[in-house]
Structure 1
Amino acid sequence: MVKDTWKMNVITRRRLGLRKHASVGDVALMVLLATAIATCRSAPVDTATRTPATGDSSRSAFTGELLPVFFVSDVRASVVFYKDVLGFEFHHYWDYEANEPVVQWNSQEPPMYARLSAADQVFALHLARSAYERRVGGMIHYFRVENVDAHHRLVKKRGGEPSELVDRSWMRMFSIVDPDGHRLFFQTPPQSWLDRDFN
């Protein structure tokens, strides 16, 4: 396994044009960066928001797409949790050897990357290999669902252990912790809140 991991790192370094002694962290960072760039390139850009050539073009640089990446200890187990327990849509694993997405993982080595989505919001799971990547980050993740009570029942039915439902003035919600300690919130705001304009 160590030999195969080393071989994969060498191949990845060559593909990304990294120096011979680039660390595993450098490789992981470059892979994530390459994935983000590919995602941005494939996303449509609304040219109507572009500012004049002589003005500030910072608005036109963004597509509006954000790709959250969760570092996890076991990509396959996390895919099962997110897909079968929480109800997210699974898209694919990424085969770094073949440099292409695959739906079925047939390699003896564990997958390093998977992509899922919640409606139009795409996110990724990435194998954590360093102490930094294994650390749970200081973020919480909110997913809006159409009916939080129904989703709460569904998660429990699928074997999840969600918190009790909680009412706030701006949302009704529950939370659940994934196998790597990420706390996820599912919420439905009241109609009175949706009718307000916060822009």
Structure 2
Amino acid sequence: MTGLNSYLLSGELVTKLTGRYIEFEIYTLSFEEYESMKLFYKKSISSNPLEELSSYIIDGGFPRSIQFDSVADRRTYAQNVIKEIFEKDIRRIKVKDRDAFEIVKNFIINNYASPISINNIVDSLRKNGNKITKPTVIKYVHALLDAKIIYDCSRYDMKSKKSIKGEKKYYLADLSFYYALNTDNQMNYGPCLENIVYIFMQKVMIMR
């Protein structure tokens, strides 16, 4: 069993236990589970489904956050979860340029569900005076993937039934990652719903 307090990430543990492991991937709460958990903790649920969905998107699907009554406390909790992930998991890759890593991390989180290419990230950093290399950006992105902060989705050609190289879309393991890093709560339902559907489909694929 592995987690944030382990000395190995799940991918590394699997490598060491090849042929002798069963891997269960655990996700944060779905919208249905979120409402069920609120009922369990005797928290009020809005009669307006859209209002309740908005709360779910902003608060995220971490069960513990539901126990907090104020938005500020829930956001602080999400921020602490992110901080713990970065401090205990991400630091293991020995980031030399912390500022560059933060820029890459924030760029992907702020552009979730949008097509992103590694070359675009490199070009954007270099325009701002950061002479980061492509292998370094790839290393940082893989660190975010290994820590289960984001998931990647390659473009797919329906005719050839093959993945298309280049741009990918990155989805957040939990939408609270975005709102914990951004004070603007203006809701853009397009990428939010796309992210929710992608994570839901990931769960469905695992259960099959």
How high is the TM-score relative to the length of structure 2?
A: 0.29
> Going by fraction, where is helix more abundant, 1 or 2?
2
Higher relative strand content: 1
- Largest Rg, 1 or 2: 1
If asked which structure has higher relative contact order (CA below 8 Å, sep 6+), I would say: 2
